[in-house]
Amino acid sequence: MNINKRFLVQFFIQLILIFSIFLLVFLSFWAIIGFSIMKDEANQDLSKVDSYFFSDLITIQGEKVKIDEELKQLVTNQNGWILILTTKGNIIGSYNAPKQIPKHFKESELASLILPNAPATVEYQYWKLDETSPQPYFLLFGRKRLETNILNEIKADLDWKNQNLNLSKSSLQQIEAEKVWVQLINSNGEVVDGYGTNQEPVTYSTEDLLTLPKTKDDSVAAYYDAESEQTIMVGVQESNSASSIENGLFKTISNSILIIFIGLFLVLLIVTFWYARKFGVPLITMMKWIQNLGSGLYEQPLDLHQRPILLNKEGKLKRKYRLYKDLIATLSQLTAALKENEAQRHKMTQTREEWISGLSHDLKTPLASISGYAQMLETENYSWTERETKEFAGIIVEKSAYMMELLEDLTLTYRLKNQALPITKEQVDINDFIRRAIIHFINDPANNDKEFIFHPYNGDAFAPIDPKWFQRIIDNLIANAIKYNPSGTAITVSISPIEQHLLIITITDNGKGMDNETLDKLFQRYYRGTNTSDTSNGTGLGLTIAKQLVQLHGGSINVKSAPHKGTTVRIILPI
């Protein structure tokens, strides 16, 4: 998946997450409002709540019942009581219940308590608790009907004939204490007497009387006297219940909005920091990486422990950077390329400096010879013969050729030393390659005093080599065997494999051999050995170059020799 698709997927997931958060906030808001409404209803009238309101307030274990203090307070404030019954009518728990309540109810008694009964002085509301249980329980909430009790007390003293309430002193005190209103209505719906009726109508129509239970918040009880055709109505003022619920709802909504606003602000703050960490930190890290590249520091940004910031302890890319893994891969490639280029530039600089230093040192001797002979030819104090002039010219040519060879070898050895020499390998038949090299030396008349023997491998002998530079290796080794040995020396070249992975090329001669001192210094630059008095030929770099070229091919070279016992050079190459 490329970076564009990963960004699309990431932002789609973020949108779903944000939508889920807002949906959760919205549902939480309405849940808070619903819970608050239910709680306000419970504070005003416990009989209006649903059964799940009691799920956390009543705990039943076997025949033991635990009632929460909050529920007890609600029951006390509403002048009521609660009973917990089994399906058989046994009371297993109660609170604030009157003393005359029995310990067991029969079915008929429960029906008379629960079913509507207008003249009743006590009203009950019931709920079924824990409906999922195989043995459910019932909760009864009971309270006295104040309006009915007052109605029964007033109607005993009422003067129906004279249409007078004739309220006693105790009745007046109770009416004022309980905020009760009383009205006496004649057959035409006119109020002929009343008390505490400042907000009540003076005339009732038939429609008013029929809708009275639905339109008024008060609890009303009435009694009709058939003889006088009059009705007395008693109402307990509960007009504050609706307004208090509305006020409570408004307060709850206000508080909920404030809480939601604070919550959304915190969520926004958290999401901002989260986005900054998820998208900002990786970008800042990669900007720092690019700055490092611009300042010549070709590596990933590191932490305080000098470990790459982008990787975890297992060496894998950290989760917050995985979205940018394509960009990170590109930056890694760029870093590696720049680092390699810097290393190559450093190698070239070092090679150039060493080449100039070596060149200035190694050209002093031949230049001194050329300069000396040139000055001798130039002098006016002496006239040179033609033979002497040609001799001087020959020496100058020889030293010039030596200088050219030295320049080439010196350049090559420094390039090899700094790994600045590119090679192109190809599969070559080593048998045929060595055979052609030996034939070249045999065909040279200068080598007629030497004997050449070749033992090819009896089979395929292919190896990956660079023909140009491997030819230089073989030529240097065979040329040394010819140059530093007397006439009649036999030079033997053989090829043999080691299992199927290595190939051995052995060059052996039966010449003078070398002592240990010469053998130890054989691959040092400019060392030409002590077994020859010819100091005018050779740069002393041939074996150094041969060893470096063998190593560049992934192989190794070693030499064994002893005075008067010849020399053996062995090259091991990977196949």
% residues pLDDT > 90 (the chain): 17
More confident residue, 271 or 508: 508
Query: Which tokens in the block code for residue 247?
Result: 């006020």
Token pair 């408004």 is found at 250
Amino acid at 28: S
Edge-to-edge, what's the strand order for the sheet holding 219-225? Answer: 191-195, 180-185, 230-236, 219-225
pLDDT band at 262 (very low <50, low <70, confident <90, very high): confident
pLDDT band at 413 (very low <50, low <70, confident <90, very high): confident
Q: Is 90 exceeded by the pLDDT of residue 456?
A: yes
142-151, 225-234, 247-256, 378-387: least confident range: 247-256
Roughly how many angstroms between the first and final C-alpha of the chain, as a whole number? 41
Q: Which of 478, 473, 511, 480 is nearest to 493 (CA)?
A: 478
Q: Is 70 exceeded by the pLDDT of residue 533?
A: no
User: Which one of 45-49, 249-253, 455-459 scores highest in mean pLDDT?
Assistant: 455-459
Per-residue pLDDT averaged across 48-59, rounded?
A: 84
Q: Which of 560, 479, 490, 476 is nearest to 518 (CA)?
A: 560
Q: Is 90 exceeded by the pLDDT of residue 246?
A: no
% residues pLDDT > 70 (the chain): 87
More confident residue, 4 or 519: 519
Per-residue pLDDT averaged across 113-138, rounded?
A: 74
Residue-level pLDDT at 427 = 93
Q: Is 60 exceeded by the pLDDT of residue 220?
A: yes
Query: Which tokens in the block code for residue 125?
Result: 């509301």
Residue-level pLDDT at 239 = 47
Q: Can you give the C-alpha Rg of the chain in angstroms?
A: 58
Q: In angstroms, rounded to a whole number, what is the distance separating the alpha carbons of residues 160 and 131?
A: 52
* Average pLDDT of the residues of the chain: 81
Q: Is 70 exceeded by the pLDDT of residue 557?
A: yes
Q: Which of 197, 125, 120, 203 is nearest to 165 (CA)?
A: 197
Token pair 């040519």 is found at 397
Residue-level pLDDT at 530 = 47
Q: What is the pLDDT of residues 61-94, one digit of tens each?
A: 877 889 999 889 988 888 889 998 888 888 888 9
Q: Is 70 exceeded by the pLDDT of residue 435?
A: yes
Residue-level pLDDT at 440 = 92
**Alpha helix positions (H), 363-466:** 364-378, 386-417, 430-442
Domains belonging to the chain, first-starting first, are 45-144 (3.30.450), 148-237 (3.30.450), 258-336 (no CATH), 363-420 (no CATH), 422-574 (3.30.565.10)
Judge contact between 200 and 220, C-beta under 8 A.
Answer: no
Per-residue pLDDT averaged across 371-392, rounded?
A: 85
